[in-house]
């Protein structure tokens, strides 16, 4: 129990020393009345963010977790399945069409994409309301 109290007091002392502003006078290069005055310079430093966009770095779209291998308006997309960029940038599929293999198709009547992309009906069947029919 005594060791726990000692550990607690040491922890409080360390925290108090790190939070207490330093008594050294501020130099002319530091910002006056900074909200982080007295804390470490690591916290006071402005963070600079590097922006990687696919228009400048097209290979960024080929990384794992990317939305697709193609670049459109600084965003990674997949031209083969993206309903707002079907086959090329800005080509939108109208309702009820979907984007399959880069083309807008109606899944309710298309024999190659019946109900969903790649669902092909057999040669003797037809696609009716998104289901292959063999009647």
C-beta separation of 102 from 83 below 8 A: no
Which residues, listed in sequence order, are joined to residue 72 by a DSSP beta bridge? 75
Structure tokens at 79: 């031209």
Q: How far apart are CA 78 and CA 66, in angstroms?
A: 9
Instruction: Kindly report the pTM of this predicted structure.
Output: 0.57
Compute the average pLDDT of residues 64-90.
94
Q: Which residues pair with 133 in a beta bridge?
A: 126
pLDDT in tens, 100-124: 999 999 999 999 999 999 999 998 8
Of residues 95, 74, 66, 71, the one with CA closest to residue 83: 95
Q: What whole-number distance in Å separates Cα of residue 106 and Cα of residue 127?
A: 10
The residues that bridge with 126 in the sheet, in sequence order, are 133
Instruction: Tell me the C-alpha to C-alpha distance, in Å, between residue 46 and each of 19, 31, 34, 52.
Output: 20, 12, 12, 19
- Helix (H), strand (E) counts: the chain: 2, 6
92 pLDDT above the threshold of 90: yes
For 1-40, the pLDDT digits (tens) are: 677 777 777 776 677 666 655 444 444 444 445 455 555 5
């Amino acid at each position: 129990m005594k060791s726990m109290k000692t550990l607690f007091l040491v922890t409080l002392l360390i925290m108090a020393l790190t939070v207490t502003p330093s008594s050294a006078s501020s130099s002319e290069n530091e910002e006056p009345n900074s909200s982080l005055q007295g804390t470490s310079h690591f916290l006071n430093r402005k963070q600079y963010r590097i922006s990687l966009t696919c228009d400048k770095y097209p290979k960024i779209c080929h990384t794992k977790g990317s939305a697709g291998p193609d670049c459109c308006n600084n965003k990674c997309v997949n031209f083969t399945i993206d309903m707002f960029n079907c086959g090329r940038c800005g080509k939108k599929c109208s309702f009820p069409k979907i984007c399959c293999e880069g083309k807008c198709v109606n899944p309710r009547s298309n024999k190659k994409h019946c109900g969903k992309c790649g669902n092909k009906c057999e040669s003797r069947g037809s696609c009716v309301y998104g289901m292959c029919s063999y009647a």
